[in-house]
Amino acid sequence: MRLLERRDLCDITGSDHDSTAVSSLGYARYRHEYPADLLDGILTEARRLAEHEWEARSADRYLGLRHLRAAHQAIPAVKSLMHDAARLRRLSELAGVELEPYPITRAASHINFYRPGEVPIQHHTDGAAMVELIPLYTSGRAQGGATLVYQAPPEQGRHFLDQGRRLGPADHLAIPQRTGHAVLMQGRRLLHTAQTLQDGERITLVLVMRSAAEPWKDGNSLARLLLDDPLEAVHDEWLRDQQYQADLFRSTPR
Ligand SMILES: O=C(O)CCC(=O)C(=O)O
Ligand SMILES: [Fe+2]
């Protein structure tokens, strides 16, 4: 892995601290070393699954996002990458805290599909603390475009959006999304969206993580999970994890 760029969270938002963050990292962009044949296999499978899965329910997508959830359940290669110990060690080093795969299956990995002329995903903060974004395929003049990150505290941006104001291009920084590169981002504490592609596509694997030491720093309430998934798909894991968090919290010296 070769680091291309790293920005601190507070450097991006202009805050002097963020006690709800899991790490000082805003994002890091790097050239990854994930095997090309593994990623190609994931892409092929993702395209095949996508053809069957969605058109029927595209109207009520949360955040307008066109994606496959729980990608690792359908595609074994995603599962092996998600649990790869060397990968988790390197990402944890980058973040400065131990990261672990997100424990709720439905929310632990996604594959996002961005098409020309569609806003790929509305402004949001992520539920889970950290994501790794791995572009599998890009085409068009923008070469996959970019993730656009609002350069102030996320609560401020949300407030403006709720008032019906637009957040302009100058209020954002752009993190390029290129194949061969990947981005580790603390998306729960950064308001972000993705650049609309005029003439190309991007297909991105999203691997979701949290802090092993502070798993309660999590924006995925049960209600938020239910925006995407039926209760029976998340209920058991969510409940088990709440108990795990309570036990960990109790035994954590503070
Ligand atoms: O692909 C991107 O640029 C951003 C994706 C994203 O924000 C998400 O999946 O939560
Ligand atoms: Fe996001």
What separation in Å is there between the alpha carbon of 236 and the centre of ligand 2? 25
| Per-residue 3-state assignment (H helix, E strand, C coil) for 46-78 | HHHHHHHHCHHHCCCCHHHCCEEECHHHHCHHH
Pocket probe for ligand 1: among 133, 184, 191, 209, the residue whose CB has the most ligand atoms within 8 Å is 133
pLDDT at 99 over 90: yes
User: Amino acid identity, residue 188?
Assistant: R
Predicted structure pTM score = 0.95
What separation in Å is there between the alpha carbon of 29 and the centre of ligand 1? 14
What separation in Å is there between the alpha carbon of 219 and the centre of ligand 2? 12
User: Amino acid identity, residue 34?
Assistant: Y
For the chain, give the mean pLDDT.
93
Q: Can you tell me the distance from the alpha carbon of 199 to that of 115, in angstroms, rounded to the nearest whole number?
A: 8
Q: Does domain 2-250 have CATH number 3.40.47.10?
A: no
- H helices of 54-175, in order, are 71-74, 76-83, 85-95, 105-108, 154-162
pLDDT in tens, 151-209: 999 999 999 999 999 999 999 999 999 999 999 999 999 999 999 999 999 999 999 99
pLDDT band at 11 (very low <50, low <70, confident <90, very high): very high
204 Cα nearest atom in ligand 1: 1
pLDDT in tens, 107-116: 999 999 998 9
Minimal-distance CA residue to ligand 1 atom 3: 147
What's the mean pLDDT in 84-105?
98
What separation in Å is there between the alpha carbon of 26 and the centre of ligand 1? 14
Does 109 sit in the ligand 1 pocket, CB within 6 Å? no
pLDDT in tens, 40-51: 999 999 999 888
Query: To 5 degrees, how large is the angle CA 157–CA 158–CA 162?
Result: 120
